[in-house]
Amino acid sequence: MNIDKPKIKEELLENGINFKECQDIDGIIYNRKFKDITIDEENIYNQNFENCIFENVTFNNCKFENIDLLDCIFDNCDLSNSKFPESSIYRVEFNNCRILGTDFTEGYFQNVQFKNISGKYSNFSASKFRKVLFEEANLESSAFSSCTYKETRYESSNLVASEFINTKLDKVVIAYCELSGIIVNAGDLRGVQITEDEAAELVSVIGIKIIG
């Protein structure tokens, strides 16, 4: 699966913690690099971020509702327990980030990579995924219920006790992942692409016993 990478300009304007001061004339936060800062209890609605890098940024109790992220990179950031509901995320990378308990519900994700993520208890319910890769991601006890997928892959990730209720997994690739205790409807597994070891795990999950 080929994922389009963020198209980042070479020169970005450094920092600035007040997002309103960073907006251009059209209200877009564009061509910015935020580094080594903590953003406390920021509430933002209907904001566009384009061509931005967030490096070693902590989002503390923030709510970013209905925002658009385009061509952005998050490196070594902590977004734990922050909220990003109803957001559109396109050509974005989350690398080495913490998203424990983060709310991404009703989001749209296209050409997005989550790599080496600590994301226990994160919530992606009712989201749409197209060309999304979760790689080396700890997603234990996370929620992916009522989601729709197209060209999505979970690789070398922890999906223990995660929920996929009312989520059809047709053509979703789940490779070399931990699946014990996963919550999924048996009928929604039709067409999922998995390894032999994961097939044995899923058989037990849906209550089938192999004899002989």
Residue 209 scores a pLDDT above 60: no
Is the Cβ–Cβ distance between 103 and 59 less than 8 Å? no
- On the CB side of 67, CA atoms within 13 Å amount to 23
Is the Cβ–Cβ distance between 195 and 153 less than 8 Å? no
C-alpha distance from residue 103 to each of 20, 50, 99, 126, 148 (Å): 23, 21, 9, 11, 17
Residue 200 scores a pLDDT above 60: yes
Question: Rounded CA gap, 206 and 203, in Å?
Answer: 6
Q: Are strands 183-184 and 163-164 parallel, antiparallel or unpaired?
A: parallel
DSSP assigned state of 15? -
The reported pLDDT for the residue numbered 9 is 78
Q: How confident is the model at residue 17 (pLDDT cuts 50, 70, 90)?
A: low
Which amino acid, residue 56? N
Q: 112 or 32, which is more confident? A: 112
pLDDT tens-digit readout, 111-146: 999 999 999 999 999 999 999 999 999 999 999 999
Please give the structure tokens belonging to residue 82: 């922050």
The reported pLDDT for the residue numbered 106 is 98
The reported pLDDT for the residue numbered 42 is 86
The reported pLDDT for the residue numbered 134 is 98
pLDDT tens-digit readout, 61-112: 899 999 999 999 999 999 999 999 999 999 999 999 999 999 999 999 999 9
Is the Cβ–Cβ distance between 100 and 81 less than 8 Å? yes
The reported pLDDT for the residue numbered 198 is 81
- Residues 154-177 have a mean pLDDT of 96
The reported pLDDT for the residue numbered 183 is 93
- Residues 44-67 have a mean pLDDT of 92
| DSSP-H helix ranges across 19-134 | 19-22
Q: Which residue has the tokens 């977004």?
A: 79
